[in-house]
Amino acid sequence: MQLPSLPSCSIGDIDSDADSEQLRQRITDAKEQLGDKLMILGHHYQRDSIIEHADETGDSFLLARKAADSEAELIVFCGVHFMAESADILTDDNQIVMMPNIRAGCSMADMADLPDVEACWNELLENCNLSDPASRENAELPAEHGQSYLVPVTYMNSSADLKAFVGHHGGIVCTSSNAAGVLEWALERAGEGGKVLFFPDQHLGRNTALAMGYEEQDLAVWNPMMVPDWESLNASTFVLWHGYCSVHQRFTVDQINDFREDYPGALVIAHPECDREVVDAADASGSTEMIRRYVEDAPSGSVIGVGTEIHLVKRLDSNYSDKKVICLDPGVCPCSTMYMIHPAFLADLLESLVEGQVANRIVVPSQIADEAILALNRMLSIVA
Ligand code: SF4
């Protein structure tokens, strides 16, 4: 289907009950007209008035896979930009991926860009006396005896050109649910004395490495705005990019202590994008999908404090009515960029599609997609 593109939608927030009902009807009508051609994907952190229209809900990786497995011609991704890029990379050329609001990015993903990562990469190779896995005939094989490589690992929460960088240099993508397996894979390729460069989220890298038995002295942080500390960088096994999630950064040990005081015997689970101290103080830590399962598996009557985005926490509380699920942050902690997907944008986009016009299409250039998919497929090969 060849359709002309429209510029980005630009409708503001409209939240009265009457407006909400009108928007619900507009979306429902458009969905009905588009039928099987359309699939709407909704990330866990989206507001309920978006989730109610989603054909599939989940975390970024699960949704990208749903897109890849789907035969829908029109895929509307209600999430942030890097997620829609991953969906475009994993889908066929005849599938069109769009976002209701193209300005919805991820502040963590924006903390690492290609020029900064390339500069870091070149400095580490030179100053730590490491080799580029791409210099080998087969970058995917474990390191040979006596060889030390620098292996790049990127979190799903990164731009497509960083995934392509990782693919080109023999590295791999990870999610918050498979990070330990991915780091083991990377260490095997790094070899004795080799290093893993992990970006953009320092907390996921740190929490995963510590849980695998590494210690603080095995970790060093790379901040492109600071003079490198070569002593700790040379001594480290993991070089962690300085990025963080503005939502998960809000959770503190004091909040957990207050929560336990208010609810003696309560359970606590935190997302691994939280600080190390928060993860240590919690009873468990895991990805959004693991948090959902933790709540599901908790005994009826449990009170569970959760350190993650508020929309998911509230939805868990209403979906598991025999348990009390409470956000650890007493202030509201939505992801402000996820919140940029408003039903008004979704209604506009779907109505454009009904009229045969595509708006807000996400297209990853084929040269980038071809290298990014190498890194994604390496991840899939170890998850399977
Ligand atoms: S919750 Fe954090 S990591 Fe997830 S999209 Fe929002 S800013 Fe990015």
Residues of the chain with CATH 3.40.50.10800: 5-105+337-364, 109-245, 248-327
| pTM for this predicted structure | 0.91
Instruction: Write out the two tokens for 186.
Output: 């990377």
pLDDT digits (tens, 9 = 90+) for 146-186: 999 999 999 999 999 999 999 999 999 999 989 999 999 99
Instruction: Write out the two tokens for 316.
Output: 């868990």
> Can you tell me which atom of ligand 1 is nearest the CA of 335?
6
For 35, other C-beta atoms within 10 Å of its C-beta total: 8
Nearest Cα to Cα of residue 288 among 239, 332, 335, 331: 335
Average pLDDT, integer, range 65-86 = 95
pLDDT score for 4 = 35
Rounded to the nearest angstrom, the distance between the alpha carbon of 107 and the centre of ligand 1 is 7
Nearest Cα to Cα of residue 289 among 127, 169, 206, 178: 178
* Helix or strand run (H / E) with residue 349: helix 343-354
Decide: 157 in ligand 1 pocket, CB within 6 A: yes
Residue 160 carries which side chain, given as an amino acid letter?
Answer: A
Average pLDDT, integer, range 255-270 = 98
Asked whether the bond before 200 is cis by omega within 30 degrees of 0, the reply is: yes
Report the CATH architecture of 5-105+337-364.
3-Layer(aba) Sandwich (3.40)
Assign 344 to helix, strand or coil: helix
Rounded to the nearest angstrom, the distance between the alpha carbon of 308 and the centre of ligand 1 is 10
Rounded to the nearest angstrom, the distance between the alpha carbon of 303 and the centre of ligand 1 is 25
pLDDT score for 17 = 67
Rounded to the nearest angstrom, the distance between the alpha carbon of 61 and the centre of ligand 1 is 14
How far is the C-alpha of 199 from the C-alpha of 112, rounded, in Å? 7
Nearest Cα to Cα of residue 305 among 238, 364, 260, 250: 260
Q: What confidence category does residue 14 fall into, taking pLDDT thresholds of 50, 70 and 90?
A: very low
Decide: 287 in ligand 1 pocket, CB within 6 A: no
Average pLDDT along the chain: 93
For 284, other C-beta atoms within 10 Å of its C-beta total: 13
Closest C-alpha to ligand 1, atom 2: 245
DSSP state of 139: T
* Helix or strand run (H / E) with residue 260: helix 253-262
Decide: 309 in ligand 1 pocket, CB within 6 A: yes
Decide: 107 in ligand 1 pocket, CB within 6 A: yes
Rounded to the nearest angstrom, the distance between the alpha carbon of 339 and the centre of ligand 1 is 11
Q: What confidence category does residue 140 fall into, taking pLDDT thresholds of 50, 70 and 90?
A: confident
Decide: 338 in ligand 1 pocket, CB within 6 A: yes
pLDDT digits (tens, 9 = 90+) for 294-331: 999 999 999 999 999 999 999 999 999 999 999 999 88
How far is the C-alpha of 270 from the C-alpha of 307, rounded, in Å? 4
How far is the C-alpha of 309 from the C-alpha of 210, rounded, in Å? 24
Report the CATH architecture of 109-245.
3-Layer(aba) Sandwich (3.40)
Average pLDDT, integer, range 21-45 = 97
How far is the C-alpha of 223 from the C-alpha of 112, rounded, in Å? 10
Beta pairing class for 195-199 and 150-155: parallel
Q: What confidence category does residue 199 fall into, taking pLDDT thresholds of 50, 70 and 90?
A: very high
How far is the C-alpha of 317 from the C-alpha of 309, rounded, in Å? 13
pLDDT digits (tens, 9 = 90+) for 331-359: 867 899 999 999 999 999 999 999 999 99
Q: Domain 248-327: which CATH class?
A: alpha beta
Rounded to the nearest angstrom, the distance between the alpha carbon of 105 and the centre of ligand 1 is 8
C-beta of residue 203 within 8 angstroms of C-beta of residue 157: no
Closest C-alpha to ligand 1, atom 6: 335
C-beta of residue 233 within 8 angstroms of C-beta of residue 220: yes
